[in-house]
Amino acid sequence: MAFWGFRPVLPAFEIEDPKRDFKTSQVIEQYHLSDQALYMPDRGFSWKYIPLSRIRGVIPGNESRDEESAMGGYHIELPTIRVIYEGGTEVLTLENPRQAKVLFSLIRPAYEKRQ
């Protein structure tokens, strides 16, 4: 695996010139969304991506975590978006519920266009 680069989640999902497409993407927390693909952080400084044309479904949700600190334990809920594609699923976890709604509202129309 390259320290820096772009790779599709499945080899059949490769798009033409992902580096150029990535530069035109909109940033929402740690995720990048362009007209062609959704980019997610990978190992090192590399990115994996799912072409929007390959997304089969998106489902909003929440992730619960129990955390510990010096003052004691606490519970947090983080918004998630489950992105379903042929051959797998990616769960996007965000910090801000408002940002999760924005990302969901941008991915969903790209998916619904093909229905």
Whole-number Å distance between alpha carbons of 59 and 43: 25
**Tell me, what's the pLDDT at 112?**
67
Q: Can you give the pTM of this predicted structure?
A: 0.87
Please check whether residue 102 lies inside any domain of the structure.
Answer: yes
CA atoms of 67 and 113, how far apart (whole Å): 40
Q: Based on the structure, what is the number of domains in the chain?
A: 1
83 within a domain of the structure (yes/no): yes
CATH of the domain at 23: 2.30.29
Per-residue pLDDT of the chain (115 residues; tens, 9 = 90+): 455 789 999 999 999 999 999 999 999 999 999 999 999 999 888 999 999 999 999 999 999 888 777 788 878 899 999 999 999 999 999 999 999 999 999 998 876 666 5
